[in-house]
Amino acid sequence: MTDTHLTPADIQAHLDNLTKPPGSLGRLEQVAARLCAIQQSLAPRTRPRRLVLFAADHGVVQAGVTAWPSDVTGLMIANIVGGGAASSVFSRVSGTELHLVDVGSVSAPLEPGPFYRAAKIGEGTANLAEEPAMTQAELEAAVAEGRREAERAVADGVRVLATGEMGIGNTTAAACLGCLLTGAPPEDMVGRGAGADDATYARKLQVVQQAVQRAEARRAPQASPEDRAAALAGVCGFEIAAMAGLFEAGAAQGLTLVVDGFIATAAALLAEDRRPGTAQQMIAAHCSAETGHGRMLEALGLTPLLDWALRLGEGTGALLALPLLDAAAAMAGEMATFADAGIAAE
Amino acid sequence: MTDTHLTPADIQAHLDNLTKPPGSLGRLEQVAARLCAIQQSLAPRTRPRRLVLFAADHGVVQAGVTAWPSDVTGLMIANIVGGGAASSVFSRVSGTELHLVDVGSVSAPLEPGPFYRAAKIGEGTANLAEEPAMTQAELEAAVAEGRREAERAVADGVRVLATGEMGIGNTTAAACLGCLLTGAPPEDMVGRGAGADDATYARKLQVVQQAVQRAEARRAPQASPEDRAAALAGVCGFEIAAMAGLFEAGAAQGLTLVVDGFIATAAALLAEDRRPGTAQQMIAAHCSAETGHGRMLEALGLTPLLDWALRLGEGTGALLALPLLDAAAAMAGEMATFADAGIAAE
């Protein structure tokens, strides 16, 4: 951060003075401009960088909303920490440190290590199809875990912080939040997650419709601020609240935040709702295959880098996008100007 | 290369056995499958890798088809070799060796070095608006320079070879080739290159229409093979012919070839015309902002990775796409299987 504020015009003038026809790097120039604006620097940095994954389970799995059982969350936590998951592999190839925090899976914790810790708010949420998924106090506890990770990242010198998740059932919670925070109807926000068949999809849609209806009643204009907050907690997930906390604290500290897929974007909406302006520090990695993701990104004013029909989660989309940020940052900070190269600008 | 031929079904079965919901990495899975097929390996490699740029000038600049003068080609050669161009910067951040061969610019050659050599077929082509840009012998000499670079890459152990170009005026030559090799009319193939205004665009379109008409007359069904080949030489560029030679020889040697933008894709069409099957070794990095690029890629059966409205050339699109290939290769070769992770596949 510098004292002098860089305006969009300052940034554009800098980019147009580099040895390329103005605008000829297309979308990459927009990404470079955004990085410059977020970091308030004409030589933005993308390292050191880190991906923090939060894992948790969801009581709503009991309502038959997903093809996979909850114990897959724990097995995937072990797979991620063990280095065999997609996120493990992509973090290695992109040179990104990967941390994982279990904020509430039903599985037994692993041995703590430098890149893994367990900080369970509960053993999964309650079944949001029948009762509030969590209390407001539990939501704040999960948010605090996310804030802690953002502060740790700042202390470690991280410049770009991405976040993602693992949690069987979490597209259901994310769809509820998406409806409540964008105003979209459930049929526009409920998708097939990690592979729901027609019957599973129908149950999931009904669960979301009912949960959103109950939550909307609690969020009515005449409701108290406490009731409004509790309505969101009632459909949230521990990992979603933790990601929101990471975004809030990361933005407050001036970090560049990279948003992954559908569930991380629901967390971004929650963070923006809690701390308006947080989205200004965000870069959206991709628009996923999940119904409703595009609408969420639009509500945040974010343009995704990739449109690759990803639907895995685990921060994989964020990891795929990071090298594109490297190129954008290097363009802004390392290219010669027309004057350097002895070329008369057009 | 292995002796056992890997079928698409073998590759799909492998990818579906990795710890992710089948298909959940979307477009990346298709890229991984293509890499596996090209390299005939379930653990494809993306390093060592190299970008070879070919630079040359175009006599057709005299016809007023571009906003930039020919001496910019030489200044940009110096800028690329000096490390200040977009391609220099992106090659550093993506860990890609950058070589540049001047096959025919009007500028004085630089001192030779490990990453630069001059091998000029001429000091720019003739003005294709008035006469054939080059003879068939010149085209073959330029192709031979490209073949030489592919063979050098193979000798150096390169697995992934990208190619790109620098040459003021070369979108005009590429548009002519695009028309002749895809059958598209000039109005679908002529764009604004590095920034043509309306008057420049109108001149460019007329030049292409006339050149294509003359070339088509020489390529009539009753023409001799020599006349048909000479028709393409008449609208070609030295750097385009060299890229075609690199593709031909690289494909013959089993390299994974990465195609950059509009001009490199014109070279890919020429290579496929000369040696059918060459495109099977290719991966298209992006679909550029240039009119007609999509049509060229379609003719080659290639699906681009990025659609970022790039129009710089210099192999910049290829360099931006390489980290996505890294992720695709690592997915195929490094992820755990469901059995490894103790998860019952869906």
- Based on the residue annotation, tell me whether A314 is a catalytic residue of this protein: yes
Q: Tally Cβ neighbours within 10 Å of residue A271.
A: 29
Question: In degrees, to the nearest 5, what angle opens at C-alpha A73 toward C-alphas A123 and A240?
Answer: 70
What is the per-residue pLDDT for B219?
87
Residues of B in contact with A24 (CB under 8 A): 194-195, 310-312
Which residues 172-211 of B are in CB contact (within 8 Å) with A? Answer: 194-195
Strands (E), B208-284: 256-259, 282-284
Report how far residue B184's alpha carbon sits from residue B202's, in angstroms, rounded to the nearest whole number.
18
Per the DSSP assignment, residues forming a β-bridge with B54 are B101, B165
- Of A340, A248, A338, A344, whose CA–CA distance to A16 is shortest? A338
CA distances to A193, A308, B285, B319, B320 from A318, in Å: 18, 12, 20, 19, 16
Q: What pLDDT, on the 0 to 100 scale, is given for residue A2?
A: 47
CB-closest option in B24, B319, B342 to A312:
B24
Integer CA distances (angstroms), A68 to A71, A200, A204, A337, in order: 8, 11, 13, 54
Work out the percent of chain A whose per-residue pLDDT is above 90: 92
Which of B60-94 are b and which e, b meaning 16 or more Cβ less than 10 Å from the residue's Cβ?
bbebebbbbebbbbbbbbbbbbeebbbbbbbbebb
Minimal Cβ distance to A90: which of B19, B76, B327: B327
Enter the pTM of the model: 0.96
Give residue-wise pLDDT tens across range A113-155.
999 999 999 999 999 999 999 999 999 999 999 999 999 999 9
Q: What is the DSSP letter of B264?
A: H
Question: Are residues B335 and A289, on separate chains, in Cβ contact within 8 Å?
Answer: no
- Exposure of B120 in the CB half-sphere (CA atoms within 13 A): 16
CB B135 within 8 A of CB B23: no
* Interatomic CA distance for residues B110 and B113, integer angstroms: 9
Pairwise CB contact (< 8 Å): A21 & B309? no
Does residue B56 belong to the interface with chain A, where contact is any CB pair within 8 Å? no
Instruction: Name the residue in chain A with its Cα closest to that of B330.
Output: A89
User: Strands, E, within chain A: which ranges?
Assistant: 49-56, 97-104, 116-118, 160-166, 256-259, 282-284
Tell which of B47, B81, B165, B343 to mutate to test the A interface (max A CBs under 10 Å): B343
pLDDT surpasses 50 at A3: no
CB B122 within 8 A of CB B57: no
B327 touches chain A (CB under 8 A): yes
Q: Above 70 in pLDDT, residue B189? A: yes
| Alpha carbon distance A104, A239 (integer Å) | 8
Cα A32 from Cα A15, distance rounded (Å) = 8
What is the least distance, in Å, from the CA of A39 to any CA of chain B?
19
| pLDDT attached to residue A195 | 79
> How many contacts (CB atoms, under 8 Å) link A and B?
167
Q: pLDDT category, A294, cuts 50, 70, 90? A: very high
pLDDT for the residue B74: 94
B66-108, pLDDT tens digit by residue? Answer: 988 999 999 999 999 999 999 999 999 999 999 999 999 999 9
Single out the residue of B165, B170, B184 nearest to residue B247, CA to CA. Answer: B165
* ipTM confidence: 0.95
Residue A41 in contact with partner chain B when CB distance is under 8 A: no
Does any CB of chain B come closer than 8 Å to the CB of residue A341? yes
Q: Chain A, 67-96: which have a CB under 8 Å from a chain B CB?
A: 67-68, 72, 75-76, 78-79, 82, 84-86, 89-90, 92-94
Contacts of B194 in chain A (CB under 8 A): 21, 24
- Smallest Cβ–Cβ distance between A20 and the set B86, B342, B343 belongs to B86
Name the band, by pLDDT with cuts 50, 70 and 90, for residue B1.
Answer: very low
All residues at 6 or more sequence positions from B290 whose CB lies less than 8 Å from its CB, including other chains:
B171, B191, B192, B193, B261, B262, B311
Tokens of B11: 């590759």
Is residue B100 within 8 Å of B53, Cβ to Cβ?
Answer: yes
The shortest CB-CB distance from B19 to any of A20, A85, A319 is to A85
Q: Which of B45, B47, B51, B89 to mutate to test the interface with A (most CBs of A within 10 A)?
A: B89
What are the chain B neighbours of A168 within 8 Å (beta carbons)?
none
CA distance A86 to chain B (A): 6
Q: Taking chain A, what is the end-to-end CA distance rounded to the nearest angstrom? A: 32
Q: Confidence band (pLDDT; 50, 70, 90) for A75?
A: very high
Of B215 and A343, the one with more pLDDT: B215
Helix and strand numbers (H, E) in chain A are 14, 6
Q: What is the pLDDT of residues A170-200, one digit of tens each?
A: 999 999 999 999 999 999 999 987 778 999 9
User: According to the model, what pLDDT value does residue B345 have?
Assistant: 64
Nearest CA to CA, how far is A218 from chain B (Å)?
A: 35
What are residue B330's phi and psi, to 5 degrees?
-70, -35
The residue written with tokens 């001036």 in the block is A254
